[in-house]
Structure 1
């Protein structure tokens, strides 16, 4: 039986992309074979699936695997063209690997999000509905627009060879300069300065207020799904595949998240409040001051009815910051070089 460490060693030993994926394919069959090989390796070393003693090894191998695959895709020209309702989209290099879907560049303006398995089609369909409803609310409340991905098209694709159907979403690629909180956490393993995370959390609370207004619960607020623009202090809440209507069980869950009790019963905007404050504690680590830990604890109680609304928390969080740090000032934030 192949172990995580065995697969990690195979990836570590590769000196060039071709060692893992074969020659840079110019035909669709070769390209699909390389993609299947990537998916098998990625599943074997994904950090979310690794045991406690293998997380570091798996994480390093996963990062290296993604680097090699991106290099391979840069050589292998895109041969897959997807026809949406409003345009056609060439599937380019891998942009990111999500929980249930892979995201590929398509030109300079679009990201094509393709579920890895047909079972995830329902999740991509849920994302479509959530982003459409959020866009409708943002049309009336312009302050919401910067906080969410833009759904620009959808593709219902049937593979000619296998007959499998894929529900594919095309998102706006306005991500230049953005990084994930996962990357930020890797750059600051001992925790962020709370004064730096303050603006990120305030904007995340705005995201949650907007989602609640649109009638959706994100349910997957993790470091990988929160994008920030360090210099411009921008925040985008991505990863809407698990979005769920209030009152229903979560559409899906992530193994790495500490969920509140209602997750498999009936989620609500309070579910996102719980997750967002778990994220706050994760990002700050031991640097979180006691009053901020107390604040987070009040947002993570077991009874969702007793958790504050995200919209109300905006003022309460500002009051906490005033008590801790006094008058607010703009704090430039940058990742260390090389991150």
Structure 2
């Protein structure tokens, strides 16, 4: 069995990202293998599990090498939309149906990998446009959602297939996904830290309900946080669905509520957000918080609370558990 010391030495001697993760590739199998390799090594050298100068250095180096590996297959072309031209640079993230590339410091370019996913990115556009309209009236909502900048009709240079591309405001500087947080905190987050993340996520759900959309894919990969500023953004709107209809698409790993293939509703997002809460806290979830989540994940969607009502109820729960609220600095790579 590989030890923390062996893993730290492997990371220390790696001269380039390929030494740890293999040749850069765009196919999903290679990227899943690299992701598994990253999580395996991260678990071994995480400072919470093996806190030595060598493992702390190795953990930081591992994250840097993995980030560089993800960027190795960046594009080198430009797409033209209704409002401007956008260079397609390094790959920033690989979503379930689309690749997200950097485009300067202000934008990202979201390109569906297959033409069949064009309809899903069209759903994202419609949802983000409706949310923007609601946010013009309820300005407190703006920070919680990506901004749709432009759209592009494009043809794949290799296959000639049509691609409908979304240009979004960049959320790349200092933002990380909850999946990255989960990797850095494999034993589960301190509930006092996840409290502010969940409170803001509930605001996202309330805003989506006001706009008449259900996200349907609330996963660690789709929730972005800004650790220093305590910001939260609900991204990944490709599966957004109107209430009363079946989900536009589903992902196999998600623990969906029963209604997902019949008629989703805002209660669907309430269910998914509280499954996420339990996932992020793991064994560290207090009994009262588990009971709260249980009430939000009942099979009968009519029995789940409304997101807007949950804001006050969750605050009451936090008051009972932790007393007077105060700001807690959040460090991604250190246990709390």
Match of 1:171, SS state, is strand
The alignment status of 1:170 with 2:156, answered yes or no, reads: no
Match of 1:20, SS state, is coil
CA contact (8 A) 1:124 1:167 kept: yes
CA deviation after TM superposition for structure 1 residue 72, in Å? 5.2
After superposition, where does 1:7-22 map in structure 2 within 5 Å?
14-15=18-19, 20=23
The alignment status of 1:234 with 2:221, answered yes or no, reads: no
Q: Which runs of 5+ in 2 are unaligned?
A: 1-15, 42-62
CA deviation after TM superposition for structure 1 residue 60, in Å? 5.4
- Residue 318 of structure 2 corresponds to 321
Distance 1:203 1:251 in 2: 25
Q: Which runs of 5+ in 1 are unaligned?
A: 1-11, 22-37
Match of 2:23, SS state, is helix
Deviations 1:188-209 (A, max 9, x none): 1111111111000000000000
> TM-score normalized by structure 2?
0.83
After superposition, where does 1:1-339 map in structure 2 within 5 Å?
14-15=18-19, 20=23, 38-40=25-27, 42-44=28-30, 46=32, 56-57=36-37, 67-71=68-72, 73=74, 79-159=76-156, 162-336=159-333
Deviations 1:63-92 (A, max 9, x none): 87764351354xxxx541111010011110
CA contact (8 A) 2:270 2:304 kept: yes
Deviations 1:122-142 (A, max 9, x none): 000000000000000000100
- Residue 44 of structure 2 corresponds to none
Cα RMSD, aligned residues only: 2.3
Number of residue pairs matched by the alignment:
297
Match of 1:168, SS state, is strand
CA deviation after TM superposition for structure 1 residue 160, in Å? 5.3
Cα separation, partners in 2 of 1:90 and 1:259, compared to 1, 3 Å: same
CA deviation after TM superposition for structure 1 residue 334, in Å? 1.2
Cα separation, partners in 2 of 1:69 and 1:295, compared to 1, 3 Å: closer
CA contact (8 A) 2:188 2:283 kept: yes
CA contact (8 A) 1:16 1:68 kept: no
Cα separation, partners in 2 of 1:58 and 1:137, compared to 1, 3 Å: same
Distance 1:85 1:16 in 2: 41
Deviations 1:34-66 (A, max 9, x none): xxxx222x335527xx9xxxx9458559x8776
CA deviation after TM superposition for structure 1 residue 336, in Å? 1.6
Cα separation, partners in 2 of 1:60 and 1:170, compared to 1, 3 Å: farther
Distance 1:106 1:65 in 2: 20
